[in-house]
Structure 1
Amino acid sequence: MSVIITACNEEKTLRSVLREAERLMPEEIIVVLNGCVDNSFRRARQCGRAIVVHCPDAVGHDVGRAIGSKLSQGDIMLFLDGDLPIPAPSLFPFVAAVDRGTDVALNDLNPLLPIFGKCDSVTHCKMFLNMALGREDLGAGSMTAVPHALSRRMLELIGPQALSVPPKAQAAAVLEKLRVENAGTVNVIKRNRIRKGNTGAGNNVEQMIIGDHAEALAEVLARGAADLLWKENGPDSRRILAAWRNGI
């Protein structure tokens, strides 16, 4: 197993994230520091098992995951963020799911969400993309959220570079008929670090994620998959969407 941690100025939490990752006894821990200007590098180096990749300039919100996966050797890749210390027992279900044959093990945030009408735009995008893929059972399950785990088969099939746009990578996995499942629930909503770019309606992170989903949906439409879904299951799909919209 490879644990891949991306971080941007996480000197206060990175040590705790690494400590919990070590408890899983992985083969390797890869830390990708994305434009850090604090002491994150020093914190990462204090973990003797960590392979530290230091990008002096920010390379993009999710590009760090692509870099880490490219360098990884494990059959299972567990992805974490440096600002969210998660106890090892809560991480284990994602690793175990891939060990049992799942290719994409997602964080199931659905039990934590309000009714559809009160969800934010990002959640609506996640739900709509999954429904367009014929996987409404995933609800808002998305590779946009950590923790999640991938199989080596998934990585070899779609390529590490695809992880720089998580929704597009998830869509590719479904279209390639890989096993994509919600594997466990970790409440990262309340614990998500408040930053200048991720607060307020229409913030930069929200717009980026919406754009990523639009790119993923464009890929689905280009392959004709969504068109086939709506033609064959149109009435039922519309019924499901109406149920979400009305909070049923």
Structure 2
Amino acid sequence: MSVIITACNEETTLRSVLKEAERLKPEEIIVVLNGCVDNSFRRARQSDKAIVVHCPDAAGHDVGRAIGAKISRGDILLFLDGDMAIPAPALFPFAAAVDRGADVALNDLNPLLPVFGECDDVTRCKMFLNMALGREDLGAGSMTAVPHALSRRIVDVVGPQALSVPPKAQAAAILEKLHVQNAGTVNVIKRNRIRNGNTGAGNGVEQLIIGDHAEALAELLARGASGLPWQENGADSRRLLAAWRNGI
């Protein structure tokens, strides 16, 4: 197993994240520092197990995942963020799911979400993309969220560069008939670090994620997919999504 941790100015949490990753006894831990200007590099270097990739200039929101996957050697790739220390026992189900044959093991946030009318736009985008792909069972399960784990096979099939746009990579995995499933529930909603760029309606991170989902839908259409929910049901697609979410 390779544990891949992306971080941007996470000097206060990175050491704790590394300690939990080390408890899993992985083959390697790759830390991708993305435009850090604090002491994150020093914190990462305190772990004798960490391979540190230092990008002095910000490479992009999810580009660190692609970089980590590109240089990794493991058959199982577990992705974490440097801003939240998740206990190792809560991480284990994701790696175990891939070990049992899954290609994508997602964080199942569905039990933590409100009814459809109270969901945010990002959550609705996640649900809509999965419905468009014929995977309503995933709900809001998304490669946008951590923790999640991947098999080496998906990296070989879609290419590591695809991971820089997580929803597009997820769509490609489903279209390639790879095994995608929800594997465990970790409440990252409460753990998520509040930043200037991820708070308030229409914030930068929200717009980026929505744009990523638009790219994924464009990929779906470019592959000639037919019988999509909005094609068959028109205005009913929103009602179907709401019925699915509210029925949980």
Range class of TM-score, shorter chain: over 0.9
Residues 162-195 of structure 1: per-residue CA shift (max 9 Å, x gap) = 0000000000000000000000000000110000
1:162 aligns to 2:162 (yes or no): yes
Tell me if the contact between 2:2 and 2:73 (Cα under 8 Å) persists in the aligned partners: yes
Residue of structure 2 equivalent to 1:103: 103
Structure 2: distance between partners of 1:191 and 1:231? 34
Q: Which residue of 2 aligns with 1:191?
A: 191
Name whichever of 215-224 and 192-201 sits farther off.
215-224
**Counterpart residue number, 1:28:** 28
Q: TM-score, normalised by structure 1?
A: 0.95
Gaps of 5+ in 2: none
After the TM superposition, list the runs of 4 or more consecutive aligned residues in structure 1 that deviate by more than 3 angstroms. 229-235
Structure 2 CA distance, aligned partners of 1:177 and 1:234?
Answer: 24
CA contact 1:197–1:204 (8 Å) conserved in 2: yes
Q: Deviations over 1:90-117 (max 9, x none)?
A: 0000000000000000000000000001
> Which residue does 1:54 correspond to in 2?
54
Alignment of 1:1-248 (within 5 A): 1-225=1-225, 227-230=226-229, 234=233, 238=237, 240-244=240-244, 247-248=246-247
Q: How much has 1:244 moved relative to structure 2?
A: 4.3
Q: Give the residue type in structure 1 aligned to 2:149.
A: A
Distance 1:200 1:244 in 2: 27
Deviation track 1:112-145 (CA, whole Å, cap 9, x = no partner) reads 0000010000000000000000000000000000
Which blocks of at least 5 consecutive residues in structure 1 are unaligned?
A: none
Give the drift of 1:243.
1.1
Alignment size in residue pairs? 245
Paired with 1:231 and 1:107, the residues of 2 have a C-alpha distance of 26
Name the aligned partner's letter for residue 165 of structure 2: V
Query: What is the alpha-carbon distance in structure 1 between the residues aligned to residue 196 and residue 48 of structure 2?
Result: 32
Q: 1:27 and 1:224 mapped to 2: Cα distance?
A: 40
The separation in 2 between residues aligned to 1:229 and 1:212, in whole angstroms, is 19
Cα contact 2:117–2:242 (8 A) shared by 1: no
Tell me, in whole angstroms, the C-alpha distance in 1 between the residues paired with 2:230 and 2:17: 46
Judge conservation of contact 1:115–1:244 (CA < 8 Å) in 2: no
- Matched residues in 1 for 2:3 and 2:189: separation? 21
Q: Which amino acid aligns with 2:12?
A: K
Identity of aligned residues (%): 82
Per-residue CA deviation, residues 35-92 of structure 1 (Å, 9 max, x unaligned), is: 0000000000000010000000000000000000000000000000000100000000
Q: Report the CA distance between 1:228 and its aligned residue.
A: 2.6
CA RMSD, 1 decimal: 1.6
* SS of aligned partner of 1:182: strand
